[in-house]
Amino acid sequence: AARPCLCAATGAPRPRGAMPVGNIAAITALRRRDRAQAGAARRVQQDKELQHAKRWTAVFRSYDTNHTGRLEQGQVRELLKAVNEGKDPSDDELAFILKFSDGNSNETIDRSEIEHAVATWRTYLAHKEKMEKVVAEFDKSGTGKLEFEELRAYLTNLNEGTEVTTDEAQWVMDKADALGDGACCLPELLMATSAWYTCVEEKEEKAKETKSSACTLL
């Protein structure tokens, strides 16, 4: 007896590699769902960023009392005072924040700079007590700042007693002396400390590269 045609039982044969229609529909649905979820996540993130920007704009406007679109020295002082629980910044601290945060060099803080200014101020406040102890120990001249040789002595202390060269100390001073008076005040000392550790890391990287090159030659 003739065998029944398999085509009748299973339908027309699919081209090799073809996928059942049901599978294609499922995958399409999953892709649509993933795109929808990604879009929703983007919208949530965009909303958060918008609310964040609105809050900072409100903060900026509350201190921009003369509506110039810029915070002048007195207004920046009030801002820093508010962040520091009502304690006035010193003249050096105010000058440092202005210098370090004023990207367009107009001696004021505009809307695009206020977040950076506040973040820098908070970072400094978190380390201020430690920097005060450093000045108390190494400020032999009694100026309230570290002059060049005093800074060098401090860096030597950070370097576990190994003397820091004049060139290294000058490099750190150049990086830290934002006010340009040839000495490190309290906020600049934080910059000097960070610059020193950057210097150490660079020296260690160079030493590793030199050692690696020597091993390759051998």
Flag whether pLDDT at 141 surpasses 80: yes
Catalogue the E-assigned strands of 46-153.
70-71, 109-110
**Rounded CA separation 74/86 (Å):** 14
**Rounded CA separation 139/57 (Å):** 41
- Say what the pTM is: 0.70
Arithmetic mean of pLDDT over the chain = 85
6-57 pLDDT, tens digit per residue, is: 344 445 555 555 556 567 777 777 888 888 787 777 887 887 888 888 998 9
124-137 pLDDT, tens digit per residue, is: 999 999 999 999 99
Closest Cα to residue 120, out of 99, 137, 143, 105? Answer: 99
166-202 pLDDT, tens digit per residue, is: 999 999 999 999 999 999 999 999 999 999 998 888 8
Q: How confident is the model at residue 103 (pLDDT cuts 50, 70, 90)?
A: confident
Q: What is the DSSP string of 135-175?
A: HHHH-TT-SSSB-HHHHHHHHHHHTTTPPPPHHHHHHHHHH
Q: Which value, to the nearest 10 degrees, does the dihedral of the CA atoms of residues 148, 154, 157, 162 take?
A: -10
